[in-house]
Amino acid sequence: MTKNERLESPGLRFREAMQKENPLQIVGTINANHALLAQQAGFNAIYLSGGGVAAGSLGIPDLGITTLEDVLTDVQRITNVCDLPLIVDVDTGFGPSAFNVARTVKSLIKAGAAALHIEDQVGAKRCGHRPGKEIVSKDEMSDRLKAAVDARTDDQFVIGARTDAFASEGLEKTIERAIAYKEAGADFIFAEAVPDINLYQKFVNATGIPVLANITEFGMIQMYTVDELKKAGVELILYPLSAFRAANKAAQNVFEHIRKEGTQAHVLNTMQTREELYTSIGYHDYEQKLDNLFKKNNDVNK
């Protein structure tokens, strides 16, 4: 990688975003359109949720069913139109071996992602806020991280370690895992489903690297504010599916109104207008490009 390529890498942009904004708010963008909306709202980093890919793109539960190719499709669609640094949920790495993890890392970098987090659940993983989660050994997860770090073709690419151990092992053992994951090369710790805000500082103190708080709705976490989380030592705040949930509820409402009333007239005020959509996706710029191109060609042919 040349010096210029490194300066332009998504991984470096993610690291710069962490320096620019502390704590860094990271919003989930289920598709390329939402990525553009997040950028226009002023966010400095975005996120692609594994659960979002499963539910939003495939209509299936987040139970380890999706593949690397499923995720890459959405990654590429987002990075093709939005230059905000994108962090990607890769579940357990999309395969049992170090070579599977390596393929995942290399593929994400090639697709334009800036960062990932990989977790210590078993391959048949579950949502982090559901019961019945099973985790692999500390050593096995450390090996996943070592494989990920070794596979980086861009040393600025950011690798996060998610641990789901709190529910089954408690605080002390989970912190031991976090320390081991840092030693294996993790750039940040994602302590999933840790419900007490006062515990985040313990992870910060123990590891000395950034800690991510997952402020997901309808789970085990309260809707803590940025200021509250900053005081707790959190440097990364994730809102993985907020817009997705809102969009789903809005779609359900529109469908029900059309079906019951035979018209969408009474829910127009809940919709993005045509002009708002055109502004978001740059429709007029595309149209102007076509007009200029064909005008130039027509002038040449005269």
Q: Looking at 34, 129, 144, 162, which residue is catalytic?
A: 162
0.85 cut: is pTM over it?
yes
Q: Looking at 13, 31, 47, 239, which residue is catalytic?
A: 47
User: Contact, 66 vs 54, CB < 8 A?
Assistant: yes
Instruction: Look at residue 123 in the predicted model and tell me its pLDDT.
Output: 67
Judged against a pLDDT cut of 90, whether residue 302 lies above it is answered with: no
164 labelled catalytic: no
Q: Looking at 13, 15, 34, 117, which residue is catalytic?
A: 117
User: Per the annotation, where are the binding residues for substrate?
Assistant: 49-51, 127-128, 162, 192, 214-216, 245, 274
- Identify which has the larger pLDDT, 296 or 280: 280
Judged against a pLDDT cut of 90, whether residue 7 lies above it is answered with: no
Interval 35-52 mean pLDDT: 97
Q: Looking at 154, 164, 192, 235, which residue is catalytic?
A: 192
Instruction: Look at residue 126 in the predicted model and tell me its pLDDT.
Output: 80
214 labelled catalytic: yes
Instruction: Look at residue 43 in the predicted model and tell me its pLDDT.
Output: 98
Q: Looking at 33, 74, 82, 127, which residue is catalytic?
A: 127
- List Cβ neighbours of 266 (8 Å cut-off, separation of 6 or more): 257
235 labelled catalytic: no
47 labelled catalytic: yes
Fold of 8-241: TIM Barrel (3.20.20)
- Identify which has the larger pLDDT, 1 or 61: 61
Instruction: Look at residue 219 in the predicted model and tell me its pLDDT.
Output: 87
Judged against a pLDDT cut of 50, whether residue 27 lies above it is answered with: yes
Judged against a pLDDT cut of 70, whether residue 285 lies above it is answered with: yes
Q: Looking at 33, 44, 119, 200, which residue is catalytic?
A: 119
User: Contact, 1 vs 153, CB < 8 A?
Assistant: yes
Q: Looking at 33, 34, 74, 89, which residue is catalytic?
A: 89
- Tens of pLDDT, residue by residue over 115-157, are 999 999 886 788 777 777 889 999 999 999 999 999 999 999 9
Residue type, 159: I
Compute the mean pLDDT over every residue in the chain, rounded to the nearest whole number. 93
Instruction: Look at residue 173 in the predicted model and tell me its pLDDT.
Output: 96
Interval 276-295 mean pLDDT: 92
> Cα–Cα distances in Å, from 298 out to 95, 172, 284, 290, 291?
54, 72, 21, 12, 10
User: Per the annotation, where are the binding residues for Mg(2+)?
Assistant: 89, 91
Instruction: Look at residue 125 in the predicted model and tell me its pLDDT.
Output: 81
Instruction: Look at residue 127 in the predicted model and tell me its pLDDT.
Output: 75
Judged against a pLDDT cut of 70, whether residue 102 lies above it is answered with: yes
Provide the residue ranges of all domains of the chain, joining segments of one domain with +. 8-241, 249-294
Alpha carbon distance 45, 127 (integer Å): 23
Which two structure tokens, joined as six digits, stand for 291?
A: 């007009």
User: Per the annotation, where are the binding residues?
Assistant: 49-51, 89, 91, 127-128, 162, 192, 214-216, 245, 274
Alpha carbon distance 166, 188 (integer Å): 17
Ranking 22-26, 217-221, 278-282 by mean pLDDT, the lowest is 217-221
253 labelled catalytic: no
Judged against a pLDDT cut of 50, whether residue 5 lies above it is answered with: no
Percent of the chain with pLDDT over 70: 94
- Identify which has the larger pLDDT, 203 or 132: 203
91 labelled catalytic: yes
Q: Look at residue 19 and give its three-state secondary structure.
A: helix
**Which of these, 227, 231, 225, lies nearest to 204 by C-alpha position?**
231
Instruction: Look at residue 3 in the predicted model and tell me its pLDDT.
Output: 46
Alpha carbon distance 236, 153 (integer Å): 24
Beta strand 236-239 with 115-119 is: unpaired
Q: What is the largest CA-CA distance in the chain?
A: 78
256 labelled catalytic: no
User: How many helices and strands, by DSSP H and E, does the chain display?
Assistant: 13, 8
89 labelled catalytic: yes
286 labelled catalytic: no
192 labelled catalytic: yes
